[in-house]
Amino acid sequence: MPVFHTKTIESILDPVAQQVSQLVILHEEAEDGNAMPDLSRPVQAVGAAVNNLVMVGRETAAGSQDKILKQELPLALTRVEETSGFLVEASMMLRDDPFSVPARKKLIDGARGILSGTSALLLAFDEAEVRKIIRICKSVLEYLAVAEVVESMPDLVTFVKNLTPGMTSMSKAIDNREQELIHQVHKEKLAHSMKTVKNLTAVLISGIKIFVTTKQTGGRGVAEAAENRNYVVTKMSQEIHEIIRILQLTTYDEEGWDMDDLTVMQKAQAGIQGKLDLARDWLNNPYAEPGGLGERSIPGIVEEARLIASRLDGPEREKIETIADELASMSDRLAKLRAQGLGNSPEALQLAQGIQERLDYLNGHINSVVSQYAHSGVRKPAPTVTGKIEQAQHWLTAPYVNDGGLGQQALREVIGEGRKVAAGCTGPEKERLNRLCDEVERMTNQLADLCAKGQGHTPQAQAIARQLSTKLNELKDAIQQSLVNQVAEDFIDPYTPLKLFSNAARAPLGTPNREAEFQSKAAAFDKHANKLATTAQRVAEAGSYADKKVVEKLLAQSQQLRELTPQIIYAGRILLENPGNEAASEHFEMLKKEWTSQMEQLIGSVDNATDTVSFIQATEEALKRDNEMVNQAIHNRQPAHIVNGASNMARRGKRVVDVARQEIENSEDPNFVAKVGKSTEDLERTINPLVITCKSLAMNPGDKAAGEAWYDGSTNMIHCVVNVRDAIIKSQEERYPRPPKSPEPIPEEAFPPPPDMSQLHISEAGLNRPLEHQLGYEGKDQVDRGKATTTQVPLPPLPPLQPSQQQRTSEVAVIPPIPSQPAVSPPSQPAVSLPSQPVAVTPPIPPSPPLPEAIYATPSKPKSQYRASPTLSSPTPSASSVARSSPGLDGRMSADSGYGHAQYRASPIFPSSPTPSGTSSSAWIPPVPVSPPQTTRTQLPSPQSSVPSPVSDMSGGMTARSPPPPPAPPAPPSPQQLQQQKQKQQHRARTPQGGDDFQEFYKELDTVLDSILTAPDQVYHRDMYSAHGPPRPDVSDAVPPRPPLPQQEYLPPRPPPPEESEDEMEVHFPKPQADQPIMSAAYSLHVEAQKWSSKDNEIVAAAKKMALLMAKMSRLVRGEGGTKKELIDCAKAIAVASEEVTRLAREVANQCTDKRMRTNLLQVCERIPTISTQLKILSTVKATMLGAQGSDEDQEATEMLVGNAQNLMQSVKETVRAAEAASIKIRTDSGHTMRWVRKRPWYL
């Protein structure tokens, strides 16, 4: 199957795949009855190219010394020749018979063979090149073992001369290979390992030199020098083995971590392989030198085996641990015998043979276990606390779903991490962390017990899950805040212990307590270094920074610091024992420089992974505590405490300065640089005066002038630290304003309770009574309370009708007679005061615009002047509803806003006319009550009335067709029915979604994608769509039937708000099942993209489009419909969308002023085009396999396609996250128009 780990392979396979895809499409079209075109000429060109390739390949194999290449290359060449012959035969047969079925079969077989055969041929060549580089690496490894036998300066010179050419060749080969690789992660790891080997080479030469010198002079420290030398050799060997491992990789998992169980086991497996040869050589030599690399290799193998066992469970773990313990015990006994000169004794020989057998068995067993684990698909908790909490929250949303215990395991590991962090805290902070861990553990146990009993869907389990989710977030915040406090405390002064240890190692002979002082400073230095490494490891595993590269870098740097610290102590011991030895001094300084460089890198990574504002705030609190301690020491006349507290304050101030300068160097915003730079300079100027004042106080704690100077200086320093923090925050807020917050959810208490329905009465006679009597006792109170703030609105008179309007009387609603005492006065009378809530009513609302006649009129049917439409009463007596019920406010007639019946309002179709007052308003219609379901025919008011008659007929009234009696509404559901509906919903939630859901989804998906792919340049506007999808059709003149009137005595439930669709890509995406890996990858990207609105955000829109396209590809690959052409076109569309995402991400990166964010975004998005190109090639391969499902080749092609799709979706998801983060650091005046608006959650 094709592999795409080098640029050469990709550049050759891409055009071949394009040609093969055309053949596949022609073949499919021929199956539909179309004639095949003449392919003689293109096939002849392909045949000529294949013949040339075969000739070159055979010449290469003949001249190569690689036995494996000589075996594999002829097979690949033969396969390519055969498939080329199929193509030639098929073209000849199709020329004679364009409809020949056997010819089409040969054509597709030839196309499949050309692609796979070319891939196998290229892979064989590439593997041969890799083996060349590996041979160079192994030659360097073998020569490194010679370092332990170098015992003189001439030997050292010879060693260096022989080592240099191999190192140079390996470096050149690695550099060339690095440029050829496609995967950025592999390139970075190769470069890092090669750089480490180069740096350690100088340290190795220095270590061998100090070993030779101390041994020749007969001085002490030979053992420590040997430890230094062996450490460097071992470290270089490990890095070279890592280079070999990376060279053999052809794929990369975007979701993989160096901390993953499989990656850790594979690295340990490679380490065992590299140490086996040294161990076997040592076992076969009874007279081997004690303490050599061979003897040390067996404990190394045991350590690697235990590391693998720690990542396993069950009997496999116990078996490996048992063998490891036996090997450790037997190797110790053999080493003692050989140290006594008894290496050739029967017991020693028997032990060596037993160790050899166990090593071979352990190696084979570990190879088998690692291979099984790689194909098992076992899911483990994420490496970081952030990832573990995401897995736990996913389980808490549906605890009744069986996730294989992943959510519970992740929860318990979070609790363990919290307790580890608490172990490094003191006081209330430690108590709070432990308390939170205990609470989370207690609720986890309760929920786990309910789930074990099958009660995960019960209300009790749901309540516990909600509480646990909240408490888990609280624990996460507490862990992260504690880590920030630990970073601010532990990294206050990372270099002073090394300086003190260096002074102790360089103490001249005769210094009192020289040895004791060295031991004390060495212990303090070792403790300090390990503490810093532990804190850095905690920040990586439990911190808030989730970037994989930063986390893995932190872990690697902390481990290197742990390994290098003992070597510094050994070098210091050599210097202490040989004070006049220049080689010892140079060696110590070299290691010291290496340790300092590692510490600088570690501090930079820790600061990068820690929020700057939180760090400065924690430092500010620590400064206040130190200041209080110094003030208390001044009061108690304690010079030592004064010095300690003041020194801590000066160091903390220096740390804030360093962190602020890192932020300045990382930013390209001149405003940010200027403001933060000024505040940083002010802080830096306060440090030296504070130190000088501290010295004065230490010499004379009672000096009042010094005490006042101290008070002013310490206060000024704390104030400057606050200014630095404020400068960072304000500069970011000014240039990068935060998006508007989502509105807070309205609590239920904010809504007034519904009125007592028994107190409300609406009747024709009741409308003549005063309003307070209509509303009952409670309504009267509301009217009384609202009189003070009620505005009276004058109502305009009804304008006279035009002659053209008077003719439209064919279908007019019958208006019931107006009572002798109207409920609402005409414009000449005072208006009724509005009741309910105290809301000010505005003056008369401008008239509604005339409705288009085309909506309600057709040539065959006369138009009506009024259209009756039912209006359901509002469930709450709000002021707005009462205002709307008043006549004339909107130019329409509406009845009282009562609670029991639906009312009717007449909407004027004719344009409004000027009122007598000169203002334009719609016709004013007095309120007329309607009592359904009876039909009335009455007279309108007489001409003497103050209200003119709008339309007159023969009887002087208005006619209308009353609707028929409406059917009775359904009865409200009973409590038993509600409980049954709830149980059905819970059952559907627990039941995996089956084929029906996906069939509906596929239909919707095809509709959406057709609209996207057929009109890629069309701009979709929100007003083009209704609340539920496509544009509304033309509305005919037919008025829709009126809904039935409610007859029940209870308030109808409020309908849910319509779901607003932002764009054409909003589809209901069902949750995929376990056997849908490509769909799962698409769903993961879909969920991430759905967090953001795609309006004015092209990256989110493109990501959503890619998720839908990948969902379609999942269906095509699974054979659930579609054609080969659709599969190929879908892959091409994904590639186009990938290019769009990459282009947009680069634009965001170019405008981002944060260098780290920009670099991260560019590195993430650069992977997308390569992966999308690979997807096109793999889709073509899969298309050629659609007629041969079930074969090994088809299975392999599917697995590669699945892995590629997962990598692509993961890369796009990371790009979306990185682009959102980088958009925060884009200046508002840059012209950037991409908006990141988080969608409102469902509960708001």
Decide: 915 and 797 in contact? Cβ < 8 Å: yes
Nearest Cα residue to 1007 out of 1069, 1072, 1064: 1064
The CA distances from residue 547 to 609, 843, 1029, in Å, are 9, 59, 38
From the DSSP assignment, how many helices (H) and strands (E) are in the chain? 36, 4
Considering only CA atoms, give the Rg of the chain.
41
CA distance 59 to 950: 103
- pLDDT tops 60 at residue 343: yes
Q: pLDDT: is 754 or 490 the higher one?
A: 490
Supply the pLDDT for residue 733: 55
CA distance 729 to 138: 54
Supply the pLDDT for residue 111: 80
Sort 761 into a burial class: Cβ within 10 Å, 0-12 / 13-18 / 19+.
middle
As a whole number, mean pLDDT of residues 366-393 equals 79
Specify whether the backbone of 218 is left (phi greater than 0), alpha (psi in -120 to 50) or beta.
Answer: left
Q: Give the tens place of pLDDT for each residue, 545-581.
A: 767 778 888 888 999 999 999 999 999 999 998 888 8
Decide: 891 and 847 in contact? Cβ < 8 Å: yes
Q: Give the tens place of pLDDT for each residue, 1136-1151.
A: 999 999 999 998 988 8
- pLDDT tops 60 at residue 226: yes
Q: Return the residue matching tokens 């819970």.
A: 986
Measured in degrees and rounded to the nearest 5, phi and psi for residue 868 equal: -80, 135
The CA distances from residue 1234 to 733, 1152, 1222, in Å, are 18, 12, 12
Predicted model pTM: 0.68
- pLDDT tops 80 at residue 886: no
Decide: 639 and 576 in contact? Cβ < 8 Å: no
Q: Give the pairing type, strands 866-871 and 903-908.
A: antiparallel
- pLDDT tops 60 at residue 853: no
Q: pLDDT: is 241 or 1019 the higher one?
A: 241
Decide: 920 and 913 in contact? Cβ < 8 Å: yes
Nearest Cα residue to 662 out of 723, 622, 612, 726: 612
Contacts of 1108 (CB under 8 A, 6+ apart): 1005, 1008, 1009, 1012, 1065, 1067, 1082, 1086
Lowest mean pLDDT among 490-494, 590-594, 972-976: 972-976
Confidence of residue 1007 (pLDDT cuts 50, 70, 90): low
Confidence of residue 872 (pLDDT cuts 50, 70, 90): very low
Lowest mean pLDDT among 587-591, 982-986, 1070-1074: 982-986
Helix (H, G, I), strand (E, B) or coil at 568: helix
Average pLDDT, the chain: 75
Supply the pLDDT for residue 1126: 85
Supply the pLDDT for residue 1049: 55
Q: Return the residue matching tokens 């919290």.
A: 418
Supply the pLDDT for residue 761: 53
As a whole number, mean pLDDT of residues 804-814 equals 41
Supply the pLDDT for residue 70: 83
Confidence of residue 793 (pLDDT cuts 50, 70, 90): very low
CA distance 1101 to 1092: 9
Most confident of 391-395, 612-616, 915-919: 612-616
Confidence of residue 125 (pLDDT cuts 50, 70, 90): confident
Lowest mean pLDDT among 467-481, 742-756, 1023-1037: 1023-1037
Supply the pLDDT for residue 871: 34
CA distance 142 to 145: 6
Please name every residue paired with 861 in a beta bridge, in sequence order, or none if there are none: 858
CA distance 716 to 170: 57
Confidence of residue 487 (pLDDT cuts 50, 70, 90): very high
Supply the pLDDT for residue 746: 46
- pLDDT tops 50 at residue 1111: yes
Amino acid at 867: R
Most confident of 526-535, 698-707, 1194-1203: 526-535
Supply the pLDDT for residue 852: 43
Q: Return the residue matching tokens 């060997």.
A: 237
Nearest Cα residue to 37 out of 102, 107, 125: 107
As a whole number, mean pLDDT of residues 1174-1197 equals 75
Supply the pLDDT for residue 858: 36
Compute CA 92 distance to the chain's CA centroid, rounded to the nearest angstrom: 54
Confidence of residue 833 (pLDDT cuts 50, 70, 90): very low
CA distance 1125 to 908: 57
- pLDDT tops 60 at residue 91: yes
614: number of CA atoms within 13 Å, CB side? Answer: 17
Q: pLDDT: is 927 or 434 the higher one?
A: 434
Supply the pLDDT for residue 1243: 38
Specify whether the backbone of 886 is left (phi greater than 0), alpha (psi in -120 to 50) or beta.
Answer: beta
Which percentage of the chain shows pLDDT scores above 90?
Answer: 21
Supply the pLDDT for residue 626: 92
- pLDDT tops 80 at residue 1158: yes
- pLDDT tops 80 at residue 190: yes
Supply the pLDDT for residue 427: 85
- Count of C-beta atoms within a 10 Å radius of residue 252: 17
Supply the pLDDT for residue 415: 92
Decide: 714 and 654 in contact? Cβ < 8 Å: no
CA distance 600 to 893: 79
As a whole number, mean pLDDT of residues 178-183 equals 88
Nearest Cα residue to 549 out of 822, 780, 798, 254: 254
- pLDDT tops 50 at residue 1026: no
Q: Which helix (H) or strand (E) holds 1011?
A: helix 995-1014
Any idea what the Cα angle at residue 27 is, between residues 26 and 28, rounded to 5°? 90
Supply the pLDDT for residue 653: 93
Supply the pLDDT for residue 760: 52
User: Which tokens sit at 811?
Assistant: 């279908």
Transcribe 1044-1058 into DSSP letters: PPP--SSPPPPPPPP
Helix, strand, coil content of the chain in percent (nearest 5): 65, 0, 30
Transcribe 288-313 into DSSP letters: PPTTSHHHHHHHHHHHHHHHHHHT--
- pLDDT tops 80 at residue 664: yes
Nearest Cα residue to 115 out of 17, 45, 18: 17
Q: pLDDT: is 372 or 721 the higher one?
A: 721
User: Which tokens sit at 18?
Assistant: 């394009």
Q: pLDDT: is 950 or 97 the higher one?
A: 97
Compute CA 216 distance to the chain's CA centroid, rounded to the nearest angstrom: 60
CA distance 226 to 220: 12
Supply the pLDDT for residue 1190: 62
As a whole number, mean pLDDT of residues 290-307 equals 82
The CA distances from residue 1157 to 399, 557, 665, 1070, in Å, are 37, 21, 13, 34
**What string of H, E and C letters represents the secondary structure of 931-999?**
CCCCCCCCECCCCCCCCCCCCCCCCCECCCCCCCCCCCCCCCCCHHHHHHHHHHHHHHHHCCCCHHHHH
CA distance 276 to 360: 9
- pLDDT tops 90 at residue 531: yes
Confidence of residue 860 (pLDDT cuts 50, 70, 90): very low
Any idea what the Cα angle at residue 978 is, between residues 974 and 984, rounded to 5°? 145
Amino acid at 1167: R
Cα torsion at 1159, 243, 602, 183 (round to 10°)? 20
N-terminal to C-terminal alpha carbon distance within the chain: 50
Q: pLDDT: is 1195 or 539 the higher one?
A: 539
Decide: 305 and 268 in contact? Cβ < 8 Å: yes
Supply the pLDDT for residue 1156: 86
Confidence of residue 1043 (pLDDT cuts 50, 70, 90): low
Supply the pLDDT for residue 297: 83
Q: pLDDT: is 941 or 1003 the higher one?
A: 1003
As a whole number, mean pLDDT of residues 200-214 equals 90
Amino acid at 1117: V
Transcribe 834-849 into DSSP letters: P-SS--PPPSPPPPPP
Amino acid at 742: S
Q: Return the residue matching tokens 């239909």.
A: 1003
